[in-house]
Structures are given as structure tokens and as C-alpha cells.
Structure 1
């Protein structure tokens, strides 16, 4: 299928002057589907999606619920998992169109889409919104430095949440190297911290989209390398995909360059840095193609 003929893209957009961003989809819910569903307020919703899209109404509705999880089962035998973490102002609902496009090509992969809590967000004058952690500001001038004051308490709580999802997949019998963490913007930051601090077996990799490495101000020199305060012993062995738009004015491109510089000094050797010259704060066609290629390499069919 040509790019021009694809379904409407997920786009990361600013919501008004506050620049509250998330994956945006143009396709809405549909009442027609042959998918089987089950729901639990505590555990979220797991379902075997139909081959066609969109997903049934109950899936779209549940995907908006704070602090719940939506799981999309693979087409084939479940032998790998992608945990995809949304950005500020987002939720699992806005990730579903991306899943719908990639799922038929990653047929053994199940997708776990966690929803963040609702927080009174300082950078939006205390407005309540979905967020993994608080931030003081949203709109920053060009060439602003990376944050030096961050909501570490909520960051660590988000990491604990993602670690719980990883453990759930391990308890199902999924090998750790068949589990990949992925996230956009705040979700990228949460992905990095969760991957860095995980010590329960080497994961399949980290996908970082338009984000930054939090707590960089606490990185310390240790011998010939540097170490992040949340870095576990073998975290530097993780493969990393980093995609960032050079025209991004929300999470600035230089933050990606600086973050990757830190990862290199922290001992990371398998880092793919993909720059998209005209891309702003969203996921474009070329980036989605690169994402699929990397996922396919990290999580091959078995």
C-alpha cells in the first residue's frame, strides 16, 4: 500500500496554547466487529482484535479510562510483547490506530497500552490531565536546556507501574528478550527510566520517540564511563531506537542529541538514531516504516 493510501496517521499535536500533546487519530470507533472482549476494572481489557479495523466500541471506551491497561492480542501465537507508553494528554485510545496498522505485520506480538493517572498539571496552570509525571513548563524557548528540576517521585511511580506490566508478561511465559518498551515524549522518558532500572533479565529493547533522558543532571562519572542514578548493572546492553523530528519545538531536537550523548557515555553501544528533517512533534510515515523494521528485527517470528 502506498503511503498516500494509508489510514489517517497518528499525529502528535499541541492542544491550544498549552501544547498538551498526544497521538492523534482521525478514525473513530465503529460498532461493527467480531472481536471477543472481556473487561475488568482492576486488570484492564484484553481482547483478540479482528483482522479489520477499527476496534469495537467497548475497546475505544475502555481505552480512555485512567490507570487501566488495554491489551491487543497478536494474530498468531503470543510470543512477544510491546508495551507502548503514551505521552502527555494522551491515552491508550490514541495509540490503537498505530497498533491496528502494525499488528498484522508483527503477528506474534501482543500490545499492552497502559493509561496514565490524571494529574493536576503545573505547566497547564493546574489543569487536570493524563500525565505520567508533572512538569513546570510546556512551552520553552528555542535552545532551552534539558530540565534540571523534575517530578522524580511520580517518575519512579510510573516506572514501578511499567515494571509491574513487564513482570506480568514474564509470568505469562514471555521471555524478557521478547519484551520491548516503547513510548512517545513523556512516554519516551518513562520508557527510558523503566528500561534503565529493570534488573529482571535483558529486555528486547527500548523505542524512544521524540523524548529525552530524565534525571540527566544526576549522571555521575564512574571510572571510564558515566552512570545514571536509575541505571542497573547491564542496562547499557539494551538496543535503543531513537526517532526525533529536527523541527520539533515541543521536545527539542537538541534534547535528543544530548540524551543520546549521555547514553553513549553510559556504555550504550546499540543505539539507532533516526532524524526526520521536517518532522515536528508527531510520528510520520517514514518514522513508522523505520519503527516497523526495528520491531521486526528485535521481535522476529518464532
Structure 2
């Protein structure tokens, strides 16, 4: 495939001293702007003042289930019919690995800028959540946490072959959330992914929201905020280095 054209991510700088970063990844057909409202709401509450938010934009790629027409996507999807097996069949491994490399690069840029890996959370919705689990658990730096909303585990049949040895994120908390009325990424796929991650020894939790479709609800976003506050507590000036 020709080199992908990637727009620069949407950035929300920390409103206090920048000590932590959240990279939040949108789903198929969306852009980073689709999650700007959620970030702005969190920022209004002033509980995550030291956090910089990065909202990347997926490149436009041909999507098979969209009759091959281009739309923003982190990898190709052949079928979206609510069937768990449909999403797991014919996975776009090459596309998944390209996006994995991109997110590892974003993480490294934050580390190079002085934010340690254990002050970085990677998360997202739908495709964005799926690539967050995959890129997060295969990262070669220890992260603070992973968020996966209405998502699933990519390349599950060979996942363990793709994680680094030793694993840096075996203990990293993973917050998964799913609606029980999701007709796009079936809840059963979310549950299977949770159970598989649990069986492999990962530190994962799953919250199910009654009546929620393939979307987010205020209660879920509040719980994501609580997870971020827990994983990225404010440091104030406690670790400020001497200016001498």
C-alpha cells in the first residue's frame, strides 16, 4: 500500500503543568473531533488538569464493508452485521500492524517529550478501542492504563505471538465497557475478548451498560474519567525538578 496520508492529531494541552497524556482513538468513519466534546467536558470539571489529550485522526482507507470506498479507518473491516465471528474473520493484519506502529510512535513522542510511559493512557471507542488494546499490550514501554469502549481483541488467535517478551503491560489495568444492545460490535464479542484477556493473565475489567447501543453514555464517560483520575493522579509540584 502507498504511504498513508495522516493528519496531525487534535491536541488539548494540559491546563496545569503537563505530567500525563491520554491518547484517545475514535472509531470507524469518525475523526478525532468526534471525541472532542467528551474531552472538553472532562476538562471543564478540572479533575484532569495535568493531562494533555491527543485525539488522532485515522487516514482514509478503502473499507470492504463500505463497498470498498474510502473512509477514516484504523484497519479494514469486511463485515459489520452484529455477528461476533464476522469481525474476527478476515482480519486486516497488515492494517492493524500499521496502526499499531503509528500508536507506538505517538507514545514514544510523548516519552521523548518528557512524559514517562507510566503516565500515559491509551484508549478509544470501537475500532479505536480495539487498536488501543492491541497497541497497548504490545507496547515495549509500561503504560498507566488502557481504555476500550465497545471494543474487542484483535488478532486473538495469534495475539500471544505478537506481544513482546518480556511483557511490559501484563499488569496494566484495562477498562473495557460495552452496551448490551450493541448491534455493531456484539456484546458477546466484547465478553469473549474480556474472558480471553482474563485467561491470559491480564488485569482487565468489563462494565456492561443496560440499553446502550454502539455509542457512549454519560455514566460510562464518568467511569472513564474516574479511571483516568485513578491511573493519572495529579502530581502538583511534588516531582518538580530543581531549576538550579
Q: Do they superpose with TM above 0.5? A: yes
Classify the secondary structure of the residue corresponding to 2:170: helix
Alignment pair present for 1:267 and 2:207: no
Per the alignment, residue 100 of structure 1 pairs with 40
Mapping of 1:89-128 within 5 angstroms? 89-103=29-43, 104-128=46-70
Distance 2:99 2:9 in 1: 13
Find 1:231's aligned residue among 156, 163, 172: 163
Distance 1:88 1:290 in 2: 23
Distance 1:188 1:132 in 2: 11
Unaligned runs of 5+ in 1: 1-64, 220-227
Which is strand-richer, 1 or 2?
1
Distance 1:189 1:169 in 2: 21
8 Å CA contact 2:59, 2:73 repeated in 1:
yes
Per the alignment, residue 284 of structure 1 pairs with 217
Distance 2:87 2:31 in 1: 25
Which one has the largest radius of gyration? Answer: 1
RMSD across aligned positions (CA) = 1.5
Moved over 6 A (4+): none
| 1:301 Cα deviation after fit | 0.5
Which structure's relative contact order is higher, taking Cα pairs within 8 Å and 6+ residues apart?
2
Aligned length: 227
Mapping of 1:1-302 within 5 angstroms? 66-103=6-43, 104-141=46-83, 144=85, 146-200=87-141, 202-219=142-159, 228-232=160-164, 233-234=166-167, 235-268=169-202, 270-302=203-235
Distance 2:89 2:162 in 1: 16
Classify the secondary structure of the residue corresponding to 1:237: coil
8 Å CA contact 1:66, 1:130 repeated in 2:
no
Distance 1:84 1:76 in 2: 20
